[in-house]
Amino acid sequence: MNEYKILFTGTMGAGKTTAIGSVSEAAPIVTDVANTDLSLGKERTTVGLDFGLLTLASGDRIRLFGTPGQQRFDFLWKILAKSAIGLIILVDNSRSDPLADLVVYLDGFAEDLSVLPCAIGIGRLDTHPVPTLEDYIDILANRNQLVPIMSVDVRRREDVVLLIDTLLAQLEANTFGA
Amino acid sequence: MKIKKGKLAAFFGFKSQNQEESTEQKSLPVTDKPIDFGEDIHTEQPAVIDSAIADSKATEPVAINSENLLEPSTEIEEKTVEVEEKATVADPLEVEATNTEFKMATPEPTMDYEHEEEHLIVNYSKEQLAVSEEKLEEFMRVCPGAYGVLISTVDGHELLYLVKRDIPVHKISTMNSSLLALGESIARESSQKLCQFVILENSDGRVVSLRINDILMLTCISSKDTNLGMLLSVGRNTAGDLMKILS
Ligand SMILES: Nc1nc2c(ncn2[C@@H]2O[C@H](COP(=O)(O)OP(=O)(O)O)[C@@H](O)[C@H]2O)c(=O)[nH]1
Ligand SMILES: [Mg+2]
């Protein structure tokens, strides 16, 4: 049995805390406090970390960590990324410039992404169809980053599990390729 | 000794030009409790949520503190307090209280997220901030080893602070918000009740963080010249006073 650490990141409100809560077996650890940023219309925000646990059919255990979204917490991004085997970036397509949001995390985790697999989940595409998945793929292609990207609703367990599976599949591919 | 002060103009809901100012710090005996504005402020000066209301308040003269310690200025207002230290000082507190000169310091280099500060929910009146600042000054006087005291939001924005050393207040505010939230959740997971303090014990000093209320927290930074018991008790009293002022 192995234990892996996966890190969820992305803008505030993209659904990191919700995603971890959707799949965690035990009650997730949440460090949300009152949000005082009016520009980010949300009552509570994560300032520490999210933590949840998930056991796979193989018996492997996944430790799920979530970061705060705001860039001022990037000191925690570095700390939380340590020993992670993969990164999941969540994007909220209802924000004003979600493509730019994605770039913030691609840049913020550039060092980790040079060695770690990644999967990207775009939320609220049903109500906010633009930009499209193709627009995101273009951005990634221009940066020479081949990262699987999919539409997700983090409130649905299957969607979050699919993101995690996609991440793990890359790990297996890497292991077999080596 | 230099004391740097700062606050975000965003909390007033207005901005104005940089201003030079010179004023004397009020001599306030440590033992003598200042007038408690807590009640008055609670009933007459509720936290201003609407920036339009804050704007109208901004034009009113400062009623409580005639020294105008809290003149509006640029986005981040900072003042430097120069204190001449004498060779033989019987009571350092007295010197600090009398030989004081306020100067505008250049604002700290702004960080990327600076723009966010304009949208903060917390918006207190000048009076509330003036009285709060007095509490911070009192904290510094009572704890001789203290060299930083910060009021910030629980999600990491500094509101009002006094620092005697060059410490990055943005970072300290943000990091301590994480630390306090983690401390509180560790207490919960350990099935312990209210987290009262998060204490960082370092070889040459301590950093203590505690809540003021639902949205504000206090961070106290001190050398070991103030013992832990003193730091905790003065910190708790200051947070209690601030809770009343900034309700
Ligand atoms: N309507 C809708 N709400 C969503 C969707 N995805 C996430 N949410 C909601 O968006 C919020 C995300 O908050 P949270 O998980 O705290 O975000 P975090 O800041 O990334 O941790 C939650 O209230 C979710 O229920 C979606 O696809 N549609
Ligand atoms: Mg969160």
Ligand with the closest atom to the CA of A32:
2
Q: What are the boundaries of each domain within chain A?
A: 3-173
- What's the 3-state SS for chain A? CCEEEEEEEECCCCCHHHHHHHHCCCCCECCEEECCECCCCCCEEECCCEEEEEECCCCCEEEEEECCCCHHHHHHHHHHHCCCCEEEEEEECCCCCHHHHHHHHHHHCHHHHCCCCEEEEEECCCCCCCCCHHHHHHHHHHCCCCCCEEEECCCCHHHHHHHHHHHHHHHHHHHHHC
d(CA A54, CA A56): 6
Q: Are B126 and B56 in contact (CB under 8 A)?
A: no
Nearest to B121 among A29, A32, A38 (CB): A38
d(CA A65, CA A9): 9
Look up the CATH superfamily of A3-173.
P-loop containing nucleotide triphosphate hydrolases (3.40.50.300)
Give residue A176's pLDDT. Answer: 58
Query: Chain A within 8 Å of B114 (Cβ-Cβ)?
Result: no
d(CA B151, CA B138): 14
Interface of B with A in 169-228 (CB under 8 A): 170-171, 174-175, 177-179, 181-182, 184-185, 189, 214-215
Strand ordering across the sheet containing A86-92: A50-55, A61-66, A3-10, A86-92, A118-123, A149-152
Give residue B120's pLDDT. Answer: 75
Sort strands A118-123 and A149-152 into parallel, antiparallel or unpaired: parallel
> With an 8 Å Cβ cutoff, are B178 and A72 in contact?
no
State the DSSP code for B10.
G
Tokens 């207490």, residue? Answer: B187
Mutation choice for ligand 1 from A18, A91, A102, CB with most ligand atoms inside 8 A:
A18
pLDDT in tens, chain A (178 residues): 788 999 999 999 999 999 999 999 999 999 999 999 988 889 999 999 999 999 988 888 999 999 999 999 999 999 999 999 999 999 999 999 999 999 999 999 999 999 999 999 999 999 999 999 999 999 999 999 999 999 999 999 999 999 999 999 998 887 655 4
For residue A70, the chain B residues in CB contact (below 8 A) are 113, 116, 156
Nearest to A70 among B113, B170, B184 (CB): B113
d(CA A32, CA A29): 9
- Mean pLDDT over all residues of chain B? 68
> With an 8 Å Cβ cutoff, are A34 and B120 in contact?
no
Give residue B212's pLDDT. Answer: 98
Question: What predicted TM-score, i.e. pTM, was given to this entire model?
Answer: 0.74
- Residue B185, min C-alpha distance to chain A (Å): 6
The length of chain A, given as a count of residues: 178
- Please, what are the domains in chain B? 3-245 (3.30.450.30)
- The answer to whether residue B12 scores a pLDDT higher than 60 is no
Could you tell me how many CB contacts below 8 A there are between chain A and chain B? 73
> With an 8 Å Cβ cutoff, are A34 and B153 in contact?
yes
Q: Which atom of ligand 1 is nearest to the CA of A123?
A: 27
Give which of B206, B70, B209, B58 is closest to B134, Cα–Cα.
B70
Give residue B121's pLDDT. Answer: 76
State whether the beta carbon of A15 lies less than 6 angstroms from ligand 1: yes
Interval B32-76: pLDDT, tens = 333 333 333 333 333 333 333 333 333 333 333 333 333 333 344
d(CA B177, CA B210): 10
Give residue A39's pLDDT. Answer: 84
For the complex shown, is ipTM > 0.90? no
Q: Which atom of ligand 1 is nearest to the CA of A21?
A: 15
- The answer to whether residue B96 scores a pLDDT higher than 60 is no
State whether the beta carbon of A153 lies less than 6 angstroms from ligand 1: yes
Interval B202-225: pLDDT, tens = 999 999 999 999 999 999 999 999
Give which of A170, A60, A75 is closest to A120, Cα–Cα.
A170
Interval B147-168: pLDDT, tens = 999 999 999 999 999 999 999 9
Residue nearest to atom 7 of ligand 1 (CA): A15
